[in-house]
Amino acid sequence: MRLPGRILLCLIAAAWSHASPPQKQAPVVLQSETRVVLVDAVVTGKKGEYIRDLTAKDFRVWEDNKEQIIQSFTFESAGSGASRTSYEVLVFDYAAMDAGDQIRARQAAAPFIDANAGETNGGADRMMAVATFDGGFRIVQGFTGNAGRLKDALIGAKSAGASVNNATAGTSAAMDLGGRDRFRSLERLALDLAAVPGRKTIVFFTGGLALSNEQKPALEAAIAACNKSNVAVYPIDVREPPLQPAFSADTASGGRGGRGGAAAPNASRNLRGDADPSAALDPGGASQQVLIALADRTGGFLIRNAGELPSGLQKIAQEQEGYYVLGYTPPETKEGSCHALRVKVDRTGTTVRARSSYCSGKGQDPLTRTSAEKSLENRAVLPQTGDIAASGQLSFFYVGPNTARVNLAMEISPEAVKFDHKKETYHSEINVLGIASDSQGDGATGARFTDTITLDFDDAEMQQWKQKPMHYEKEFKIAPGQYTFTVVFSSGAANFGKLEQPLVVEPYQPGQLALSGVAFGREIHKAGSGGAALFEERTGLVAGGMELTPSGSNVFAKTEQVFCYFEVYTPDSASIRAAGSTVTIRILDGTTADVKWDGGPMKLDSLAAGKSVIPVGLNLPVAPLVPGSYRLEVTAADGAEKPAKRSVAFEIK
């Protein structure tokens, strides 16, 4: 994409301050060998009121129709005094909404975010994320408690294409594929949430969904994944209510569960807990059966139409602060096997909702590294580079006194990645280990991370994935120093790759003139529209409302768009204006140091906007360059201190 403007052909430069609170990382989950099944249960009375005075003696739990002994019991509430973090994903199924439905959904979500994101009065920390499905699944905003960022994501989450209302679109092959992809996306999202302790929720904004026989296995897989990961789904049909309402818009209680205190696993329930009459009263109501199944079997409830939106969303929020957690030790079973759950409350007139199944898994000793990690550690010190081709680039950006965040961008060749092929699906896991070791002292570790990339494709997706290198990014923090950075990654027992390069981070104190590293890239997009990670809040490289996708290589064709991004750190905006501070960007010949392009000095006061951290992005003019090696030179000067300079190599082919 060619950007307008002549000065540096730039994206330059709205600025911001690093005074904002630090972003939260994915939680560290410690597992033990003790096998315990935790079951969340929401209990309501005849009028939908929450029942909050129950004890362990009031509950009964069955696994595969065999009653279990309840060994632990807690009531999670805002006033319990425990510091807890809950995780909630707002998913907008634009493929099943028309334009009016989409607007209605976003308008309802905004006040819900304002009221519930961040820390609650009871000490709980409510983390939210925003995702969309519009023929493809995308995380728009990863987990954060910042309501402003979440609402910005709602704006950036608008549908990019024409919508198809699957409730009335028939059962064509295209619709079947869309349904399977939608349910597969929910399945993957639920599995991504598995590592997070406690109860998780998905609030699923959608229109009506017809369900063909071809889609049913994908729906069942999504429900199973939700139960395995302890994820409750709250579907919301955002369409206007029919002329003859399917049922009263009473949101006083939840959906799954039976009268008389016993759960009814196969009953279709609405917000009151009554059997669903919609198929008889409203022909379109039959399309809600899939939503009822999602809610009924995962422990959530259905918000039936737009008329129930405000009260229904309020009820979802209340439910996160009023549920019981029952624990029992299950019988010995085969690892990975799944089992039916049933919960009953011995109090007349109550309704209980809980997930309908769980899947067993092997515990892990938190003090023992995995075999995959040990294998990568061994390969990290060997001279072999492996058989998976890849390239990588490092760039760093200061976040505080003598602290920098490092962005690793890699491009991994798909050819040597090994997949397990079962029927029409392909599955692969790529394990990654990164280590930054002191290159000037005793080799001490300055930073370290491990990661697992999970890939699941059907035949068409697999063929598309093979067409270009796989892009991977990781962010980690490090102190100033001179390091050797090694990243090792493996696919299967034998296939692996390894990259090694120097990483030099100069000391930095706020209030001094400094420059970050430089990130190169081929692609830019509107900030917030390029997708995000669910847990890992990687900091976007944003200037002037546009975000750069960093490239894993510094080798470019002269016919390509080549962008770069860096940050200027200044003492303060007043000193910038007084000193006439500038930044200059030049392209030099990599061999002779001859100047091939000079952008001239730019005044920083025009970019700073009163801030001390100035992000700068630009489109490099590489078309006139002949193939060869070059260096991008960035110089910041304020007349008072020694100029800050950064020089980074790149190549044109």
Q: For residue range 557-605, what is the model confidence (pLDDT) as tens digits?
A: 999 999 999 999 987 655 554 456 789 999 999 999 999 999 998 887 6
- At CA 195, angle to CA 435 and CA 70, rounded to 5? 140
Tokens 């990164």: give the residue.
434
Taking residue 140's Cβ as centre, other Cβ atoms within 10 Å add up to 23
pLDDT tens digits, 494-506: 789 999 999 999 9
3-state secondary structure labels for all residues of 467-485 = CCCEEEEEEEEECCEEEEE
> Stretch 439-453: mean pLDDT, rounded?
87
**Is the Cα dihedral 203, 206, 210, 216 positive or negative?**
negative
Q: Which two tokens stand for residue 401?
A: 């006194």
Q: Over 60: is that where the pLDDT of 305 sits?
A: yes
Cβ partners under 8 Å of residue 422, min gap 6: none
pLDDT digits (tens, 9 = 90+) for 264-294: 333 333 333 333 433 333 434 556 788 998 9
Residue 7 pLDDT exceeds 50? no
Asked if the model's pLDDT at residue 121 lies above 80, the reply is: no
**Whether the predicted pLDDT of 455 surpasses 70:** yes
Give the 3-state secondary structure of residue 268. Answer: coil
Please list the helix, strand and coil fractions of the chain in percent, rounded to the nearest 5, in that order: 20, 40, 40
In this model, does residue 539 exceed pLDDT 90?
Answer: no
Mean pLDDT is highest, among 45-49, 95-99, 115-119, 215-219, for 95-99
Q: Are 233 and 206 in contact (CB under 8 A)?
A: no
Q: Are 643 and 635 in contact (CB under 8 A)?
A: yes
> What does the pLDDT average to over 394-405?
92
What does the DSSP assignment read for 601-648? EEETHHHHTT-SEEEEEEEE--TTPPSEEEEEEEEEE-SSSPPEEEEE
Question: Which pLDDT belongs to residue 396?
Answer: 96
* Amino acid 652: pLDDT: 96
Q: In terms of pLDDT, which residue wins out, 160 or 457?
A: 457
Q: 167-176, pLDDT tens digit by residue?
A: 333 334 444 4
More confident residue, 488 or 494: 488
**Which residues, 6+ apart, have CB-to-CB distance to 174 below 8 Å?**
none
Quick check: 160 pLDDT over 50? no
Predicted pLDDT of residue 78: 53
Segment 150-159 mean pLDDT: 77
- CA 333 – CA 103 distance, rounded (Å): 48
pLDDT-above-90 percentage for the chain: 36
Tens-digit pLDDT profile for residues 344-377:
999 988 988 888 888 775 544 333 456 778 889 8
Q: What is the mean pLDDT of the chain?
A: 79
Confidence of residue 234 (pLDDT cuts 50, 70, 90): very high
- Comparing 270 with 640, which gets the higher pLDDT? 640
pLDDT in the model for residue 269: 39
Of the pLDDT bands very low, low, confident and very high (cuts 50, 70, 90), residue 319 is: confident
Complete domains list, the chain, with CATH: 37-359 (3.40.50.410), 369-509 (2.60.40.10)
What is the predicted pLDDT for the residue at 280? Answer: 36
How far, in Å, CA of 241 to CA of 106, rounded? 18
* Alpha carbons 508 and 192: distance in angstroms, whole number: 37
Residue 449 has pLDDT above 70, yes or no: yes
Short-list 81, 27, 120, 147, CA closest to 320: 120
- pLDDT score recorded for residue 178: 57
